[in-house]
Amino acid sequence: MVDTSTQELAENECWELLRTQQVGRLALIVDERPVIFPVNFAVDQGTIVFRSAEGSKLDTLADRPHVAFEIDGLLDGEAFSVVVTGQGTEIEARDELIDALELPLYPWNPGPKHHFVRIVPESVTGRRFRVADRRELHPDDTPPARARPE
Amino acid sequence: MTSDIEELTPDTCWELLSTESVGRLAVSIANQPDIFPINFVVDRESVVFRTAEGTKFAAALLGRGVAFEADAEADGVAWSVVVKGQAREIEEMYELFAAEDLPLYPWHSAPKHHFVRIVPTEVTGRRFQVVDWGQLPA
């Protein structure tokens, strides 16, 4: 039986994985509802920095700075995910902006990118598990049997 | 070669979503955002996934507003789709049997007892040619 037990990752492993990715997803609460969108990001000394043109969504950060940020992927048959929760603040100080421009932050999106945001983490958690081969779970390649009403 | 960002129609969004099996669900827990990656399947213009009973995740999302996202990049073209809607547990027996027939194979083999449907209120998506940083002047 394939072992798909979940491994909780140590924080340093989470940061290692974060450094391998270029795209993550940001979630925040806007008008009391969750919103989510993908962003290009870079790791910067224990923080996450991303660029975004989603100005209207990011305006809410001033009042509601709590964000969640996520990456996930598949590496050598193992699925991983890392979630960072923390406070997001727009980078506005000129010297900080200049430093942010030197980060290896290459937005894929060709549109204008006026906002640099730094996420200071409050929690960093990650998981890894071997992906269950569906043929091992369902060897006849049919959905699992279930009782039908007569 | 265009460098525009294409806003996608809902039809195209659902087509693209059907090509992915992992997405991320954003929920609000005590007014704080959280994100969970999930295995999902598209079913008649809604998103269906499975979840274990009694988890923090289940408590946070059932009957609440959620936002779901999937994205991919291939051959220099990237797209992303976001579905906003309400998460609803699939409880009606006929719906449940239909859900079990869906090609929904969670990567994680732990037992998953509940099927959840995101009933969409809004579907948006974007597609664009990925900027080639190697071609920009130094």
A7-130 CATH: 2.30.110.10
pLDDT at B132: 76
User: Any CB–CB contact under 8 A between A98 and chain B?
Assistant: no
Q: Where are the beta strands (DSSP E) in B43-76?
A: 47-51, 65-74
Q: Which of B31, B69, B109 to mutate to test the interface with A (most CBs of A within 10 A)?
A: B109
Q: Do B26 and A111 touch (CB under 8 A)?
A: no
Q: Choose the mutation target among B94, B107, B118, B126 for the interface with A, i.e. most A CBs under 10 Å.
A: B107
A25 contact residues in B (CB cutoff 8 A): 24, 26, 35, 69, 71
Cβ within 8 Å, pair A36-B24: yes
Domain hosting B119: range is 5-129
pTM: 0.85
B69 — contact with chain A (CB < 8 Å)? Answer: yes
* Per-residue pLDDT at B30 exceeds 80: yes
* Contacts B33 to A, Cβ<8 Å: 27-29, 34, 66-68, 85
User: In chain B, how many domains are there?
Assistant: 1
Indicate if the pLDDT at residue B1 is higher than 60. no
> Is B17 part of any domain?
yes
Contact A34 B93 (CB under 8 A): no
Q: A142 pLDDT exceeds 70?
A: no
Q: Between these two residues, B83 and A115, which has the higher pLDDT value? A: B83
Q: Is residue B134 part of a domain?
A: no
For residue B119, the domain's CATH number is 2.30.110.10
Who wins on pLDDT, A82 or A76?
A82
The pLDDT assigned to A146 comes to: 43
Tell me whether residue B62 is in a domain: yes
Residue B137 resides in a domain: no
pLDDT at residue A86 in the model:
98
State whether residue B131 sits within 8 Å of chain A by CB. yes
pLDDT of residue B80: 97
Asked if pLDDT for residue A148 goes beyond 70, the answer is no
Say if the Cβ atoms of A70 and B73 lie within 8 Å: no
Contact A68 B33 (CB under 8 A): yes
Whole-number mean pLDDT of chain B?
85
How much is the average pLDDT of B58-82? 89
Considering only CB atoms, A137 lies closest to which of B5, B28, B109, namely B109
**Domain assignment of residue B84, yes or no:** yes
Q: By the CB < 8 Å criterion, does A28 face chain B? A: yes
Q: Report chain B residues whose CB lies below 8 A from the CB of A2.
A: 109
Long-range CB contacts (< 8 A, 24+ apart) of B97-104? B97/A146, B97/A148, B99/B43, B99/B48, B100/A143, B100/A144, B100/A146, B101/A143, B102/B41, B102/B43, B102/B48, B103/B41, B104/B39, B104/B40, B104/B41, B104/B48, B104/B49, B104/B50
In a domain, B136, yes or no: no
Which carries the bigger pLDDT value, residue A147 or residue A70? A70
Query: Which residues of chain A have a CB within 8 Å of the CB of B36?
Result: 83
Residue B45 resides in a domain: yes
For A108-135, what is the mean pLDDT?
84
Average pLDDT over residues B90-115: 72
Domain ranges of chain A: 7-130
CB contact (8 A) between residue A68 and residue B34: yes
A67-71, A145-149, B44-48: the lowest-pLDDT one: A145-149
Considering only CA atoms, which of A29, A34, A92, A116 is closest in space to residue A64?
Answer: A29
The torsion angles phi and psi of B38, rounded to 5 degrees, stand at -140, 155
Asked if residue B21 is part of any domain, the answer here is yes
Q: Which two tokens stand for residue A18?
A: 């974060």
H or E stretch covering A50: strand A47-52
